[in-house]
Amino acid sequence: MRIQKKSIADDKIYRFASKIFDDAIFRFPMPLKFEVVEFHLRDSTFGLGAGSTAIICIDHDSPFLRDLDEKGTRALITRQLFKAVLGTEDDIETNKVMARNGYYDDLFYLYYVHTVETKEDCMDAVRPALNNKDDLNFIKSAMRA
């Protein structure tokens, strides 16, 4: 298997992501039956397996990469590897297989960080249910903690 890496991100983020990608490939629990695995840091996140080539793309502006979050970046890369191996873009199917292979903690972390990143959207959705200013202030202070 040959690995190719390409990036439009700066050197620090590229080196960080590249190291984690190497570790994720090494620890991946399923056989990678690809002749070429391409790893890209670009403007979108996806995993694709077609024929003898797998393409793993990670968004260079991901919150995990911006914060140099090793656990989140590893989980994101591993998830895209699963998508490539399974040949699917279906999140539910990918999540099931990841959980069966012991990656349930990584899935929890991915979804938890996503929820925290979008907490302002959640706050706007909950606002109509709050019937007074004290409830609203309590929720805001809890989300800041």
Residue spans of beta strands (DSSP E) within the chain? 2-7, 36-42, 46-50, 53-59
- More confident call, 51 vs 120: 51
Residues 13, 60: contact at Cβ < 8 Å? yes
| pTM for the structure as a whole | 0.76
Of 3-7, 15-19, 28-32, 81-85, minimum mean pLDDT range: 3-7
Mind listing the pLDDT tens digit for each residue in 111-144?
777 656 555 555 555 555 555 555 556 666 666 6
Averaged pLDDT, 14-39:
92
Sequence letter at residue 40: H
Averaged pLDDT, 88-107:
90
Averaged pLDDT, 44-51:
87
117: left (phi over 0), alpha (psi -120 to 50) or beta: alpha
